Amino acid sequence: MTISASQEGIVRTRRAARLRTLGLWSFLLVMALSLAAPLAVYVSGGPVLQAQAAEQASNPRANFWRVVREGRAGYTSESGPYTTNTLIQNGGQNWRGLRNGPVAGFSPWVLALIVLAIGLYHFIHGPQRIEESLSGRKIARWSLGERVMHWYVATLFVLLALSGLSLLFGRAVLIPVIGIHAFSAYADFSKFIHNYLGPFFIVGVVLEFFAWVRYNIFTRDDIDWLKSLGGNLGGGTHPHAGRTNGGEKVWFWIIATIGLIGVCVTGLILDFPNFGQSRETMQLSSILHAVFSVIWVAVALGHIYLAVWGAPGTLEGMVTGEVSEEWMKKHHDLWYEQTRAGGGETSSASSGAGKPRPAPRGSPG
């Protein structure tokens, strides 16, 4: 039975819609599990925390521990890189107060505000739909190697983000829900996953950087793209974009700076204490690692939203390697013209004739 071009186009459009819907619900489920619980616990546990703080303030042993924390030197026969003659290191107490206080306390609220902002944006503007009718013609965007590299990094990113957030504020969130024994087993597993997958993740991030850095140098068109926020300001006219647009380049350089330098370097310092770093370096790296990681996750939420739901057709490119000709003209018009001028061909969804040549590629978008 022969299927017409219009029928084939409808089938592909419905398949892409189902893919976007599945990605959206998966994204919402992950965010609901990782963000809803902390907010509920913090709100309901406020009076308990205040009572504990009042009890500690009136604790008669407080004066004794203030003396201990003065850091007076003693003697120990222990040996090792972190062994000192001080019973209580005051810097360690300050680190714990900072990590378990502002860092762990504000992180879930930051992520929740980002999710709220994305929801409001989607409610007001909606997705960036293609105005033209889909012709069924496809243009190659990502090679198989690039897609494997992207999904390798993306999968490890999700696992590390969930395990890392669990270790950061999981005690306050999960112990009241699942109990201390279940949380102990879960935290031990999360720590194992986080420590051992981290170096493999860094390898993928480094490969992505060297594979795509030449496509992410800013141009004048990128400045105009950022000024109009991709066409959302200034009358809704979509700005010009080449192989990668301004937003994709910002995301790439966030990975290269906050991600690669801030998160990955501090992660290596924490993962391999046998390098000889000092206790103070480990404490500082722990705080920076948590802060940079939360920032990275927050920005990644916007990236995931645009790829899955905000710009229909984007996720299809990273799954199948191809995007529609109409998507290309809307989001990367300069790249489309360059591809056509250079002899790049499109493939017909109905006939399958004309195998597409790989077009110039950039960072994930």
Contacts of 24-32 spanning 24+ positions with Cβ under 8 A: 24/308, 24/309, 27/304, 27/305, 27/308, 27/309, 30/158, 30/162, 31/115, 31/301
How far is residue 244's CA from residue 211's CA, in Å, rounded to a whole number? 14
Quote the pLDDT of residue 70. 66
Other residues' Cβ atoms within 10 Å of the Cβ of residue 138: 24
From 180, 201, 140, select the one nearest 327 (Cα to Cα). 140
Predicted TM-score (pTM) of the model is: 0.72
b/e map 227-237, b = 16+ CB within 10 Å: ebebbeeeeee
Give the model's pLDDT for residue 219: 87
Report which secondary-structure segment, H or E, holds 139.
strand 137-140
Which pLDDT belongs to residue 290?
95
pLDDT per residue, tens digit, the chain (365 aa), is: 555 666 666 767 777 677 667 666 666 666 665 655 555 545 555 555 555 555 555 666 777 776 666 666 666 666 665 556 666 677 788 888 889 888 988 999 999 999 999 999 889 888 888 777 878 888 888 899 999 999 999 999 999 999 999 999 888 888 888 888 888 899 999 999 999 999 999 999 999 999 999 888 888 888 888 887 776 665 556 778 887 888 889 888 988 888 888 999 999 999 998 888 888 899 999 999 999 999 999 999 989 998 888 888 889 989 999 888 888 888 888 888 887 776 544 444 433 333 443 444 444 44
Measured CA to CA, the distance from residue 301 to residue 297 in angstroms comes to: 6
Q: What's the pLDDT score for residue 349?
A: 44
The pLDDT value given to residue 103: 92
Distance CA(120)–CA(125), nearest Å, equals: 8
Instruction: Return d(Cα 198, Cα 192) in angstroms, integer.
Output: 10
> Cα separation of 344 and 323, whole Å?
14
Q: What's the pLDDT at 287? A: 94
Residues 196-215: tens digit of each pLDDT: 999 999 999 999 999 999 88
- The helix-helix angle for 104-125 and 37-44 (nearest 10°) equals 120
| 85, 90, 92, 97: CA torsion to nearest 10 | 160
